[in-house]
């Protein structure tokens, strides 16, 4: 099969490079509205084919799927056009601007028996897959909290706020690891330099007292990419800025030794070993591209499928509504 890549801006070159190296992909065909970018693409990747229009790309029978790396405001229209043309679709994150649009794309993909996938690349990193393994094996016990910090200085976006720009990464990780349906969302933010939030705090509530909290910020003097996950048995710190020991597992926690009444509870703190498990160092985007292609060939559900993408959009949409309503708690409709 051949894969079409739509948009040769920031992320498009990475998609082209990885799809060209993916087994079963015979070639990549690129379309961008800018002729200058297409010329750059051809110069950077001599084996790359180009299309003058999006319709020309979709009309090619040898192109089985398209990967769309354009602004989120264009995702719905481009993806719907591709699905109706019988093409499998990979969308850059976030999936769509609204949950309603996401549901329509999902319905169209399922009706036409096509793969709809979202490029939540972090789900394919060795660190996140190792944490998922620890959770699924029951090593962490019951998950009590998920705490995320993703901050840096810039890049300020003109068409979206910090929530829609930075939060999708960690929201997708949370959904993948926790595997539960979110119940409600609240958010608070501030606008310092434009009419869009440049700093925000998001809280997602789940059943069984599980809380997930996200700090996103474009105005931090340092770049931080850190997640803390608290389990009843073990706790995990995932620091993506660490060059080698990205995951550290702590045998720390709280044990209730005696509970005579609600007024008398004997708490004992547990402090044990810390270790850093070995994680896979393969490029996450290469694994994502391979998962997309394999899903097309076999019809199986990819790891970062459209349903997980829709769940992230629902949380983003609820967070945006909470910001509008002065941090009100917004229920998420299944």
The percent of residues above 70 in pLDDT, for the chain, comes to: 96
Span 66-100, pLDDT tens digits = 999 999 999 999 999 999 999 999 999 999 999 99
Q: Is position 303 within any domain?
A: no
Q: Is 48 in the same domain as 12?
A: yes
Q: Is position 277 within any domain?
A: no
Span 134-164, pLDDT tens digits = 999 999 999 999 999 999 998 888 889 999 9
Q: Is 83 in the same domain as 32?
A: yes
Q: Is position 216 within any domain?
A: yes
Q: Is position 309 within any domain?
A: no
> For residues 332 and 144, what is the distance between their CA atoms, to the nearest angstrom?
20
Q: Is position 65 within any domain?
A: yes
pLDDT of amino acid 254: 74
Residue 267: pLDDT band by 50, 70, 90 thresholds? Answer: low
pTM: 0.93
With 80 as the cut, is the pLDDT of residue 12 above it? yes
Q: Is 99 in the same domain as 157?
A: no
Span 163-211, pLDDT tens digits = 999 999 999 999 999 999 999 999 999 999 999 999 999 999 999 999 9
Q: Is 138 in the same domain as 233?
A: yes
Q: Is 55 in the same domain as 135?
A: no
Note whether 290 and 262 are within 8 A (CB): no
Task: Give the CATH number of the domain where residue 73 resides.
Answer: 3.40.50.720
pLDDT of amino acid 38: 95
Q: Is 191 in the same domain as 101?
A: no
Q: How many CB atoms lie within 10 A of CB 227?
A: 26
Task: Give the CATH number of the domain where residue 216 resides.
Answer: 3.30.360.10
Task: Please provide the DSSP assignment of 64-82 as one string.
Answer: EEEEE-S-GGGHHHHHHHH
Q: Is 118 in the same domain as 133?
A: no
Q: Is 53 in the same domain as 151?
A: no
Q: Is position 197 within any domain?
A: yes
> Pick from 313, 301, 234, 323: which is nearest to 273 by CA?
234
Q: Is 17 in the same domain as 115?
A: yes
Q: Is 55 in the same domain as 138?
A: no
Task: Please provide the DSSP assignment of 286-328 as one string.
Answer: HHHHHHHHHHHHH-PPPTTBHHHHHHHHHHHHHHHHHHHTTS-
Q: Is 198 in the same domain as 319?
A: yes
Looking at the structure of the chain, the number of domains it has is 2
The percent of residues above 90 in pLDDT, for the chain, comes to: 90
Pairing label, strands 264-275, 247-261: antiparallel
In this prediction, residues 227-239 reach a mean pLDDT of: 96
With 60 as the cut, is the pLDDT of residue 263 above it? no
What domain range is 129 assigned to? 124-246+314-331
């Amino acid at each position: 099969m051949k894969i079409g890549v739509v948009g040769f801006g920031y992320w498009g070159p990475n998609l082209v490079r990885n799809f060209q190296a993916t087994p079963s992909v015979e070639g990549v065909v690129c379309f961008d509205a800018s002729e200058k970018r297409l010329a750059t693409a051809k110069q950077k990747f001599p084996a790359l084919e180009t299309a003058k229009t999006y319709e020309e790309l979709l009309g090619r029978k040898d192109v089985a799927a398209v990967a769309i790396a354009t602004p989120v405001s264009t995702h719905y229209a481009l993806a719907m056009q591709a699905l109706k043309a019988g093409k499998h679709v990979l969308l850059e994150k976030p999936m769509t601007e609204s949950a309603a649009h996401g549901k329509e794309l999902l319905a169209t993909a399922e009706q036409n028996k096509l793969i709809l996938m979202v490029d939540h690349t972090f789900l394919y990193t060795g660190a996140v897959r190792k944490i998922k393994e620890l959770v699924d094996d029951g090593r962490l016990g019951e998950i009590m909290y998920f705490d995320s910090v993703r901050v840096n200085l810039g890049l300020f976006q003109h068409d979206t706020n910090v929530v829609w720009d930075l939060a999708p990464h960690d929201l997708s990780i949370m959904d993948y690891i926790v595997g539960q349906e979110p119940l409600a969302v609240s958010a608070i933010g501030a606008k310092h330099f434009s009419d869009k939030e440049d700093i925000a705090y998001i809280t997602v509530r789940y059943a069984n007292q599980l809380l997930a909290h996200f700090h996103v910020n474009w105005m931090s003097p340092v770049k931080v990419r850190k997640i803390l996950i608290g389990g009843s048995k073990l706790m995990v710190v995932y620091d993506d800025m660490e060059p080698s020991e990205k995951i550290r597992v702590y045998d720390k926690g709280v044990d209730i030794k005696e509970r005579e009444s609600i007024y008398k509870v004997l708490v004992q703190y547990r402090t044990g070993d810390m270790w850093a498990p070995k994680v896979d160092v393969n490029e996450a985007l290469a694994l994502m591209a391979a998962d997309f292609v394999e899903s097309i060939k076999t019809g199986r559900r990819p790891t970062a499928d459209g349903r997980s993408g829709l769940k992230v959009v629902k949380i983003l949409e609820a967070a945006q509504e909470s910001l509008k309503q002065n941090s009100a708690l917004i229920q998420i409709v299944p």
